[in-house]
Amino acid sequence: MVLGKLKTLSRRTFLTISVVITICCYTIFAGLVLAQTNSSPRTLRVVMDNNYPPYVFQAADGSIQGILVDQWQLFGEKTGTRVEINAMNWGDALKKMQDGQFDVIDTIFKTEERTGWLDYTAPYARLEVPAFFNSEISGITNAYDLRGFAVAAKTGDAAVSILRSHGVGNLILFNSYEEIIRAAKDHKVNVFVIDKPPAMYFLYKFGMIEQYKASSPIYVGEFHRAVKKGDAFTLQEIEKGFAKISQAELIEIEKKWYGSRLWSGFPVGYILGGAGLLLFLLAGLSLWNRSLQKAVDTRTKALETSEERYRHLFNAESDAIVVIDLDKVQNVEANDAAIDLYGYSHEEFFALQPAELFADAEETFPQILSNNGHISIPLSYHRKKDGTIFPVEITARIFELENQKLLLAAMRDISDRLKSEENLRKNRRFLSDLIENSGALIFVKNRDGYYTLINRKWEEVTGLQRENVIGRTDEELFPGDIGKQFRRNDLDVIESGTVQEKEEILDGENGRRYFLSVKFPLKNDDDLVTGICGMTTEITERKQAEEDRERLSEQLAQAYRMESIGRLAGGIAHDFNNMLGVILGHTELVLHTSQLSGPHLNSIKEIEKAARRSSDLTRQLLAFARKQTVVPKVLDLNETVNGVLTILQRIIGEDIEFVWQPGESLWTIKMDPTQIDQILTNLCANARDAIESVGKITIDTRNISVDAAFCKDKVGCREGDFVVLSITDNGCGMHEDVKTMLFEPFYTTKELGKGTGLGLAMIYGIVQQNNGFITVDSKPGLGTSFKLYLPRYDVPHVPSSVEEERKELSLGSGTILLVEDEPANLEIACLMLKNLGYNVVTASSPAEAIQLARQYQEEIDLLMTDVIMPEMNGWDLAQELKAIQPDMKQLFTSGYTSTTVAQPSFFIENVHFIQKPFNMHELSVKVHEAMQK
């Protein structure tokens, strides 16, 4: 064996040297003992780190040595003080110093925390503290770059607090610098922060000097010596003692240790130490010294040869290393990692042929043997003793030593690496599949805006193919404002360096689409933004829903506003109607019973005219409020319109063309025909006023079925079958601001005195009352078209027979029970009935009417009652009285009916009703009809 020859020579040489050293040491020790017997010097207990080469470290025999050991020994010689040096784990050294077990602590950096319990000497050494990192890592230049890495440091070291203050939280703490370097050697850590001198020492010692790089100093520390807080005597003693050591002496000590690091771990230190001691014996040992020097030269040459072999052998100590004699084709050396890796004993391993380690020997081993120099095989397969085949990466080198051709091969088991690479490939495939099949649009662009990645969803939504997108910008793909907006949003993210949400739009064949994009910056190792990545989700449906909600909210607000105005208008109209009934009744009585003439008669007639005009006004208000009492009938709309064409022609005038276009097979509707008259009269009058000179007004009817799409954006619209009544003119038209106010009461664009603003409000109320809706199409200068959608009624229309001409009625007879809660209305109705010849019994409330009906001895022929009263409505009162007077007829009267009474079921056959206000002629007709039933 190669190493066997060296071991035999080493034993003989070491035996001779050991004898010489023993003699010298005994001589010196004897002198020291003799000197100590003459005095009792003060003992100074000094503690320091035991693993800080070259300042202090343990030798192979366990003794403490280094620069500081020599300095303290020289301190003791200069001062006569006995120095007791203790070197230990740094964390223990700090704790024991704090507990008072030592007088002085050395190798200490000054920190804020330590200043609270220590006093320091002036610094005596300036030490850089960089970050060391594996050469495969890049981008670490300062402490902040260490965030995110697992960083190794020594327990109790000043570096720990400094790293934490820079936000480095993932720290792995070790008891010594050597433990940290060993962990790095075993790939347990890749980044560590320790003082530069011991770092360089251990990196060189373990053959790792080429594998690690150092950053700029994270901080620069200074070595101090320190004593307990307040111990000024000891501090002064130390400073004075070290002041006695000259600079030349300090330099000589440092030179000794910095110059000897290549020999660490070898007997040369002992040889040189012995040689140093022999200088004191030069006079008597000069001849023997020349003999010893010759032996040292021979040993040094042997050690250099051995060092060269071991430097190659353990260059990658964590890997399996084998030395093969190429001439004999056999294994001659192997490290422990190789023995552990292959599972053989040393004897078994060296009995193997090198090719027996290879599972693919016929391919790999000839490849190694056929090369001279350095060989690198990234992947081969070896076999363990138990038959397990595993992948290895081989690095080999052929060299000659003492005329022997050797191959040094380093085999690294890459099973974990291959698994990691496979997992990485799987993760990349998974990530690629995730991106490609995501329901969101995913894209990547570089800093200049060029696409580098898009997924399938991006292609589907935009309609652009990947090969036409990659390498192009948004301005090229989406010309106009859309592409520019995309780029502006990207620049916001790049410039801010933060994640941002952007709402973006895209116009396509299917209209405008809305998207929510989450964009974030992509950064390199230097924290510079190199591009952006975005994930985009379509929110078109959400936007449309928001717009629909906003539109419905506006429609609902308008409906509430119209309903509120309607309730106000209806209440005012009802009360005003009652007062008008009193006025009209009294004026009519005066006209029928008094013999007036001249101015007085004219005045009464003018009062009557004004009251009737006011009555028309209240009817319009009640129609708008949908509280007008109506008597709906099944109608043919064409027939109803035909009946008022003559009147409409007079309203429109001869200068305007009037066109009537009735629809064919028109569906029937159920509606009060007088309301149709009101609608046509008002709309034709408005159309006439909208035409300045000559023009055209068209009325037409048709059937239509309304669906949900048609109802969109139309207030009050609902689905179903409708008959449409259209009134169209080619007049001046309307602006949008006028259209929004169109159906509000008292709003008019006509001059003062030419319009009340109730016409269209009344029409709106009538249509709503009949469960229909209105649309208006109007543009300035192009005219206006009103379309009234009236619901279809499935019962067929029966044409009305020609009514008999109304005859003059004679005075009536019989008893009428009159019920009215308004005193003025009660009084005037009673007077009118009495003038018509009837016997009248009055009641001001339903309760009073029931009591009178029970007490009245004779038969009551007719009940005439108001519909709306505080205690009981007229309909319920009629049912109560029916039980008392079974043959009593009924006549109802009201300005409007409440929601309950106004239901269509109220107006059943044979129920008679008279609208307030009424005149004597209307009253006589209605009473006669009711009593004749």
Q: What is the structure's pLDDT at 559?
A: 59
- At residue 349, the 3 state secondary structure works out as helix
Amino acid in the structure at residue 240: K
Residue bearing the bigger pLDDT, 584 or 639: 639
Phi/psi for 872 (5° steps) reads: -155, 140
Quickly state the pLDDT bin for 20 (edges 50, 70, 90): very low
What is the Cα–Cα distance from 870 to 872, expressed in whole angstroms?
6
What is the Cα–Cα distance from 569 to 315, expressed in whole angstroms?
104
Topology, domain 630-791: Heat Shock Protein 90 (3.30.565)
pLDDT tens, position by position, 756-787: 445 677 788 888 888 899 988 888 888 899 99
Average pLDDT for residues 362-380, to the nearest whole number? Answer: 69
Tell how strand 695-706 and strand 656-661 pair up.
parallel
Strand partners, 706: 720
Q: What is the structure's pLDDT at 11?
A: 43
pLDDT tens, position by position, 659-672: 999 999 999 999 88
Quickly state the pLDDT bin for 61 (edges 50, 70, 90): confident
Topology, domain 419-538: Beta-Lactamase (3.30.450)
Domain 131-216 is of which CATH architecture?
3-Layer(aba) Sandwich (3.40)
Residue bearing the bigger pLDDT, 679 or 362: 679
Q: What is the structure's pLDDT at 165?
A: 84
Residue 661, classified by CB atoms within 10 Å of its CB into exposed (0-12), middle (13-18) or buried (19+), is: exposed
Which residues, at least 6 apart from 15, have a Cβ–Cβ distance to it below 8 Å? none
Strand partners, 789: 724, 773
Q: How is residue 418 written in tokens?
A: 């291959």
CATH number of the 2-123+223-287 domain: 3.40.190.10
The structural domains of the chain, with segments of one domain joined by +, span 2-123+223-287, 131-216, 315-413, 419-538, 630-791, 815-931
Amino acid in the structure at residue 559: A
Tell how strand 43-49 and strand 82-88 pair up.
parallel
Percent of the chain with pLDDT over 70: 77
pLDDT tens, position by position, 453-506: 999 988 888 888 888 899 999 988 888 888 888 999 999 999 999 999 988 888
pLDDT tens, position by position, 216-239: 888 888 889 999 999 999 999 999
pLDDT tens, position by position, 512-545: 888 899 999 999 988 899 999 999 988 888 887 8
Strand partners, 173: 153
Q: 């040189």: which residue's tokens?
A: 272
H/E segment holding residue 501: strand 500-508
Predicted TM-score (pTM) of the model is 0.36
Q: What is the structure's pLDDT at 525?
A: 87
What is the Cα–Cα distance from 171 to 163, expressed in whole angstroms?
9
Residue 790 pLDDT > 90, yes or no?
yes
Residue bearing the bigger pLDDT, 179 or 598: 179
Q: What is the structure's pLDDT at 285?
A: 53
Residues of 597-611 as b/e, b for ≥16 C-beta within 10 angstroms? eeeeeeebeebbeeb
Residue 142 pLDDT > 50, yes or no?
yes
Quickly state the pLDDT bin for 243 (edges 50, 70, 90): very high
Is it true that 315-413 and 419-538 share their CATH fold? yes
Alpha-carbon dihedral 678, 680, 682, 687, rounded to 10 degrees:
180
Q: What is the structure's pLDDT at 612?
A: 67
Q: What is the structure's pLDDT at 848?
A: 93
Alpha helices of 374-512 — where are they, by DSSP H?
415-436, 456-462, 474-477, 481-496
Residue bearing the bigger pLDDT, 862 or 615: 862
**How is 365-400 classified by DSSP, letter by letter?**
HHHHHT--SEEEEEEEEEE-TTS-EEEEEEEEEEEE
- Compute CA distances 342 → 314, 338, 339, 390, 817, whole Å: 18, 6, 6, 10, 124
CATH number of the 815-931 domain: 3.40.50.2300
Q: For the domain 315-413, what is the CATH superfamily, name and number?
A: PAS domain (3.30.450.20)
Give rounded-to-5 percent helix, strand, coil for the chain: 45, 25, 30
Q: What is the structure's pLDDT at 749?
A: 56
Contact 818, 842 (CB under 8 A): yes
Which residues, at least 6 apart from 377, have a Cβ–Cβ distance to it below 8 Å? 364, 367, 368, 393, 394, 396
Q: 């009464």: which residue's tokens?
A: 604
What is the Cα–Cα distance from 755 to 591, expressed in whole angstroms?
31
What is the Cα–Cα distance from 394 to 433, expressed in whole angstroms?
35
- Compute CA distances 132 → 55, 316, 670, 879, whole Å: 20, 18, 96, 105
Quickly state the pLDDT bin for 170 (edges 50, 70, 90): confident
Mean pLDDT over all residues of the chain? 79
Quickly state the pLDDT bin for 815 (edges 50, 70, 90): very high
Residues of 817-836 as b/e, b for ≥16 C-beta within 10 angstroms? bbbbbbeebbebbbbbbebb
